[in-house]
Homo-oligomer: A and B are copies of this chain.
Amino acid sequence: MNKENNLSKNQQIVFDIIEKSREPVKAYSILFNVKKKGIKAPPQVYRALEKLIKLGKIHKVESKNAFVACKSSNCEISKATAFSICETCEKVTEISDKKLSKYLKNFHDKTGMIYKKYNLEFYGLCTTCKRS
């Protein structure tokens, strides 16, 4: 365990990769990149990912099977995630919008189901790609 932040060795290694990346990282890309650090097999990566998600340090972008570090300091444990995804350049940005999250946290459907978590993914054109 790393005393600073409670991450184990493998968890820290995996987190560092994701945190440094400017784009969502795929599990096998992580695996490839950490071979030199002694992580050799998929389960080691997937376990670290699972824990990091539980801790809210990273999120999975479901439609891309890829992982991003949490950029929104207020989602300690990630129960409410929103992303914008550019369909052209594939850039992914975490949306932290108080109003949006409030709206969605308070949303109830007709059936009376209890919502504990949500994930929202917007697809479109980022400002850079819009211009070109």
Contacts and interface: CB of A to CB of B under 8 A. Distances in A.
Contacts of A1: none
Interface range on chain A: under 10, 10 to 19, 20 to 34, or 35 or more?
Answer: 20 to 34
Given A62-B62, A62-B63, A63-B62, A115 B124 contact: yes
A122 B118 contact: yes
Nearest to A107: B100
A50 interface: no
Interface in A76-132: 84, 86-87, 93, 95, 97, 100, 103-104, 107, 109, 111-127, 130
Contact of A119 (B63, B84, B127): B63
A113 B127 contact: yes
Interface of A: 62-63, 84, 86-87, 93, 95, 97, 100, 103-104, 107, 109, 111-127, 130
